[in-house]
Structure 1
């Protein structure tokens, strides 16, 4: 059994539960950095490559968790987390720390933290913000939430996976921010894909459209710097309409929706954007700029 105090030295042995593509990448990163590693997967053969490199294969979850002071859990979701760990006896879990990198919701993360606390287990919830191929690089960001003392104890180990950032004590924060960032990613992708489809309805290739959109429009109109400049106004709720109002933007959104219909392109996304602008105007924000949509998004929809 690993010495629990070894965590302070920065040479902590690690267990990884779950060897899908991401779990395998996590395990490989620890091996690359010379850490002692125990692995477990429901299908044992998935560990063969890691075992060939020096990892120890545990026959049971209890054996895997007992082998190291800290266990990285990388399963599909919180239901899988409980399905795998609920049967483990208190003796194997006592005094250990679980770092849960599953996907789910903030409420599920808080419930998992309460489950761990009730068993005397240290707990961090986390989110990996890069694809498996980038795990282990210093610039790759991983988000964590939970007790500062737990994070500080194992940060030298977690830092082997990338840039580790503790968001706060609330265990739901990491999965919440992960969801927020993924929502932004999908909204951006959908916007680009819809726009490329609209351009394609006039026989413009996606390659040609990308040169126009990404070479000029996005860097000038929607650059990270321009969005960051507006962030303080979101915090203050200040949306001056000196250079464009919500009513003016509704006119543009109406044209996007109508043009999509005319060109035979899927029109539900622009119709939704138009509806949201109409809702903002109905709330009295017609003379404010488009960033006032932030106030609409902060409240439940119909």
Structure 2
């Protein structure tokens, strides 16, 4: 099928390309994310078949131009490209039980682990279909809003990613991260893990000032700007991991940083704040120092988490 790119399909002033120029697809799952995806594909002119376990969720999409399937099997039968956005991996088993996938292309946007994605790829290929896994780096309000910066990691069958690039890129940006089907989920969880670590630090910071005559609203820009300023440190960590030289370009030696830890602990105690969010990291820093790594940066902590320290 020849595809005609459309500039800014989300701008009402833009002429929409006819659906004849667009891939048709089936979407299984109309939760908050699935609904946002469905509406964006419809606005972009893609012929869309939808199915949801609770039929009431599907009804509004008929008025918006979607075909509503009575069953998952019917939705799959009517399309070659099948996108699933369900609660979890077990839900996918239930939804596709007994469904004929031969000759289909299955794109799985259901949140799962790397191991589940790899197993699902084998499961899909055994049923005569091609598989692409996706990890969504966005929340529903970001879907269909290019300037919001949301995107999806994809891994698995590269030919599927390339064939449906325009279609997959209509709701959110796309980043292909490898033929290993588990890599999308791994990238997804890795980035979200870093996010929660940042939230933990921010939570501790707000707890320290809580109860003082410090306005948290006035404090927030200082905290946000500081986190942004520190973010480039990830590049140095990556370079040290790649080279194996953890002492290269070190600005703040591990020995110096560990020497400062008691100040953080005493401050928390004086402010009546638990150190439970930071204590595990401080303990890892101390363990790495005890190994004689005082001239390193903090990169060696990665090896401790991998059980190599």
Whether the TM-score (by the shorter chain) exceeds 0.5 is yes
**Where does 1:265-280 land on structure 2 (aligned, <5 Å)?**
265-280=273-288
Equivalent position of 2:238 in the other structure = 231
Equivalent position of 1:50 in the other structure = 61
Superposition RMSD in Å: 2.2
Higher helix share: 1
Equivalent position of 1:153 in the other structure = 163
1:155 positional shift: 1.3
Structure 1: tracts of 5 or more residues without a match: none
TM-score, with structure 2 as normaliser: 0.87
Matched, 1:60 2:71: yes
- Higher alpha-carbon deviation: 6-15 or 23-32: 6-15
Structure 2: tracts of 5 or more residues without a match: 5-19
Tell me, in whole angstroms, the C-alpha distance in 1 between the residues paired with 2:129 and 2:24. 17
1:182 positional shift: 0.4
Tell me, in whole angstroms, the C-alpha distance in 2 between the residues paired with 1:76 and 1:143. 18
Answer whether contact 2:201 2:278 (CA < 8 A) is retained. Answer: no
- Higher alpha-carbon deviation: 14-23 or 193-202: 193-202
Quick one: structure 1 residues 47 and 276, their matched pair in 2 at CA, closer, same or farther if it must change by over 3 Å? same
- Higher alpha-carbon deviation: 265-274 or 65-74: 265-274
Equivalent position of 1:29 in the other structure = 40
1:59 positional shift: 0.5
Tell me, in whole angstroms, the C-alpha distance in 2 between the residues paired with 1:7 and 1:219. 40
1:10 positional shift: 5.8
Deviant stretches of 4+, over 4 Å: 5-10
1:297 positional shift: 3.1
Tell me, in whole angstroms, the C-alpha distance in 2 between the residues paired with 1:141 and 1:188. 20
Tell me, in whole angstroms, the C-alpha distance in 1 between the residues paired with 2:56 and 2:208. 47
Tell me, in whole angstroms, the C-alpha distance in 2 between the residues paired with 1:124 and 1:116. 10
Equivalent position of 2:176 in the other structure = 166
TM-score, with structure 1 as normaliser: 0.89
1:137 positional shift: 3.3
**Where does 1:1-302 land on structure 2 (aligned, <5 Å)?**
11-88=22-99, 90=100, 93-138=101-146, 139-215=149-225, 217-220=226-229, 222-224=230-232, 226-240=233-247, 243-299=251-307
1:219 positional shift: 4.1
SS in 1 for 2:53: coil
SS in 1 for 2:131: strand
SS in 2 for 1:161: coil
SS in 2 for 1:72: strand
